[in-house]
Structure 1
Amino acid sequence: MEYIIGLITFLFGIAAGYLAAYGKEKGKNRALKEDIANLEEQKQQVQIKYTKEIEELKKDNVLNIELRKHKYEEKKNQFAKFFTLLDAFHSKSNEIFIERFGPIYSKFIENYLVDDESNQNEAIADFNQGMMALLNELNQEHLKLTTETNSIRLISSSVLDELLDKLTANVGEATNTAQEMLKMMASPEFSADQRILSPLQTKAEEQGREVISIRDNIRKQMKVELDQI
């Protein structure tokens, strides 16, 4: 009997120890599962966080690219408009001297040589009117170029701004020389001796070469500034 009781006690002891060990191990497994679940949740949160940050970076990058593209196009268009007006100014200058002045002057000589004071006075009046119209056109083109040059300064670097200063000064001097030439060509002295125009012609040619040189440097600098956007 005592043997049976001892055996039962021993078995209960084993069972209790097993149950205790099982409960402890089960607790560990439950804690491990909870830790794994927490880690997985943290992992998901990190993934969500970085996914959101990556999307924001992508969005910012796209906006930055679009902004730079818009800025590039706007600046390129302004530079192109500037050169269009600069070329128009030179074309107008050439047109005035090569195409427009000749017929006005020829008509003046033809009418002035008529031995009639009334015709001569009319010839002088017509000639002066024609000359004023030419000078006005030249000044209008110069004003357009000056206005656009000032607009370019709003987006230009200090290097480009300095080149624009040089261009403005040289174009202004060239315009003044052109006006001097037109006035001299309208004078009686020029009719008597056309060689008196030679110094102004030489001066105008030098100014023209200087303007072209500055224009080329401006174009190079504008390309540099567009590439930096």
Structure 2
Amino acid sequence: MEIILSIIGGFILGYFTSYFNEKGKNKAIIEDTEQITEKREKVTSKHNLDITKRKIQYETKSNAYMKYFNLLDELSQNGNTEAQEEFLPALAKFNSDYIPNADNVEKASKAAAEFSNSMQKLMFKSQEKYLKFKNETNALKIIAGDDVLKLMTEIDEISQLSFDVSTQMMKDLAESIVSKNFTKLDSQKNTLENLANQTNILKEKLTIEIRKELSEI
């Protein structure tokens, strides 16, 4: 009888020992699974957050660069529009007022003064638009990469130089017509053409660098 009870007790002890061991293993498995799930969720969350950040960064830069090119084109178009609508009529008026009265000091001086005033107003408007362009694109330089920023800076420098040459050219125009000496104007015209070509080359390089920068986000 004692032997039977011992066998039964051993069996029961072994059963419960095995039961609790298995339960401990199951608990450990559950805990491991929970930890793995938690880690996976953290990784997934971080991955999704990285994707969202990259998407926002891409869209922000893409829109900013698009705005930059639009403003740059707008600046050039405004210059062409002003030339057609304001500069050429002012020049035509100067010619019609000055040439017939070249020997009349009073009338000739008046024609030159009126033309000079027209050019000053035109230069002031051009300067306002150029400053607006610089102000609206300054923020872009904060998020631009080094290579893109370098090209944008070069374009800014050439744009400023083009503006300065154009301003001086308009100032010298009346005097050149009066003196019939167009050497200075020809030199300024050639300078502006060279600067325009440099700007176009830089814009092409800038486009390549922007595409490269956006693809690396």
TM-score tier by shorter-chain length is: 0.7 to 0.9
Instruction: Quote the sequence identity (%).
Output: 21
1:155 is displaced (CA, Å) by 1.1
Q: Which has the higher contact order (CA 8 A, sep 6+)?
A: 2
Aligned to 1:166: 154
Letter in 2 for 1:37: K
Aligned counterpart in structure 1 of residue 203 of structure 2, from 197, 201, 215: 215
Give the conservation status (yes or no) of the 8 Å contact 2:79–2:126: yes
Aligned counterpart in structure 1 of residue 41 of structure 2, from 55, 72, 76: 55
Aligned ranges 1:107-126 → 2 under 5 Å = 107-113=93-99, 115=101, 120=108, 122-126=110-114
Give the conservation status (yes or no) of the 8 Å contact 1:85–1:144: no
Aligned to 2:119: 131
For the residues of structure 1 that align with 2:73 and 2:82, how far apart are their CA atoms?
A: 14
For the residues of structure 2 that align with 1:129 and 1:57, how far apart are their CA atoms?
A: 68
> Greater CA radius of gyration, 1 or 2?
1
1:97 is displaced (CA, Å) by 3.4
Aligned ranges 1:77-92 → 2 under 5 Å = 77-92=63-78
Higher deviation after alignment, 206-215 or 64-73: 64-73
1:203 is displaced (CA, Å) by 1.4
Aligned to 1:102: 88
For the residues of structure 2 that align with 1:165 and 1:86, how far apart are their CA atoms?
A: 13
| Change in CA separation of 1:190 and 1:167 when aligned onto 2, cut-off 3 Å | farther
Give the conservation status (yes or no) of the 8 Å contact 1:89–1:145: yes
Letter in 2 for 1:100: E
Aligned to 1:145: 133
1:65 is displaced (CA, Å) by 1.6
1:159 is displaced (CA, Å) by 1.8
1:104 is displaced (CA, Å) by 0.8
Give the conservation status (yes or no) of the 8 Å contact 1:184–1:190: no
TM-score when normalising by structure 1: 0.83
Deviations 1:137-193 (A, max 9, x none): 221222123224432221122222222222222112111221122222222546735
Deviations 1:90-126 (A, max 9, x none): 1122233344311111112223346577655553343
Give the conservation status (yes or no) of the 8 Å contact 2:62–2:214: yes
1:211 is displaced (CA, Å) by 0.9
- What is the SS of the residue equivalent to 1:154? helix
TM-score when normalising by structure 2: 0.87
Give the conservation status (yes or no) of the 8 Å contact 1:170–1:207: yes
